[in-house]
């Protein structure tokens, strides 16, 4: 099964896979910033996009899953807000460079062979002075049942992120254990990495 097929199958389910509420770390960091243009890669069913739009952000989201987009637009309609949602990979989409005030990268995991180039391409989409907010699973998540990839090369360490985002000013970077409560697929004790960085 391809990655696209996997996510289409997951997002076809009636229930929202990761809930309708936004990721708490992203939400608290967005509230510290003046709303502007926000890019949300791998946005799935739209929980972060909708919450950000309600805070006043102009949101562009993308994902490879058509089913994810359908659920995201339903959630936006339910909340009476608008989001711009594209379907495809970053390199297939017309996403201008130096166009975004903030990028939110939430549980966006790729194989090692693709990750570094993806991260560096994202940096170019930030305006000078723009922020990148990231939460993802740490390599110590392996073996836990609370979610995330089951392959070591798709998980993060602080050292990996420092290398991938070496062109950014790292404001904060920590790994910690948290209690995840995001729908049916992110639930329980989890080991994550959180980063805020500035271009």
Domains and CATH numbers, the chain: 3-198 (3.40.50.150)
The percent of the chain in helix, strand and coil, each rounded to the nearest 5, is 35, 30, 35
What's the whole-model pTM score? 0.96
- pLDDT of the residue at 92: 84
Cα separation, 83 vs 71, in Å, equals 12
Closest CA to 139 of 124, 152, 127, 149: 152
- pLDDT of the residue at 89: 87
Cα separation, 82 vs 24, in Å, equals 21
CA-CA-CA-CA dihedral for 111, 49, 102, 177, to nearest 10: -60
Asked if residue 180 lies in contact with residue 147, where contact means CB atoms within 8 angstroms, the answer is: yes
Cα separation, 192 vs 199, in Å, equals 23
Structure tokens at 34: 């003046």
Closest CA to 194 of 177, 179, 149, 59: 177
- pLDDT of the residue at 90: 86
pLDDT in tens, the chain (199 residues): 788 899 989 999 989 999 999 999 999 999 999 999 999 999 999 999 999 999 999 999 999 999 999 999 999 999 999 999 999 988 888 899 999 999 999 999 999 999 999 999 999 999 999 999 999 999 999 999 999 999 999 999 999 999 999 999 999 999 999 999 999 999 999 999 999 999 9
DSSP 141: G
């Amino acid at each position: 099964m391809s990655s696209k097929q996997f996510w289409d199958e997951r997002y076809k389910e009636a229930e929202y896979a990761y809930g309708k509420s936004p990721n708490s770390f992203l939400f608290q960091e967005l509230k510290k910033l003046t709303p502007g243009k926000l890019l949300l890669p791998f946005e799935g069913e739209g929980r972060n996009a909708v919450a950000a739009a309600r805070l006043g952000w102009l949101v562009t989201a993308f994902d490879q899953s058509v089913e994810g987009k359908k659920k995201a637009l339903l959630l936006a309609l339910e909340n009476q807000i608008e989001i711009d949602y594209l379907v495809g990979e970053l390199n297939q989409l017309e996403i201008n460079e130096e166009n975004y005030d903030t990028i939110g990268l939430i549980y966006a995991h790729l194989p090692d062979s693709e990750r570094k180039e993806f991260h560096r391409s994202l940096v170019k989409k930030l305006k000078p002075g723009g922020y990148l907010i990231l939460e993802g699973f740490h390599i110590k998540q392996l073996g836990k049942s609370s979610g995330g990839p089951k392959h070591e090369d798709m998980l993060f360490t602080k050292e990996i992120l420092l290398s991938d985002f070496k062109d950014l000013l790292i404001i904060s970077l920590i790994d910690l254990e948290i209690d995840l409560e995001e729908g049916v697929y992110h639930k329980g004790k989890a080991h994550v990495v959180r980063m805020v960085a500035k271009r």
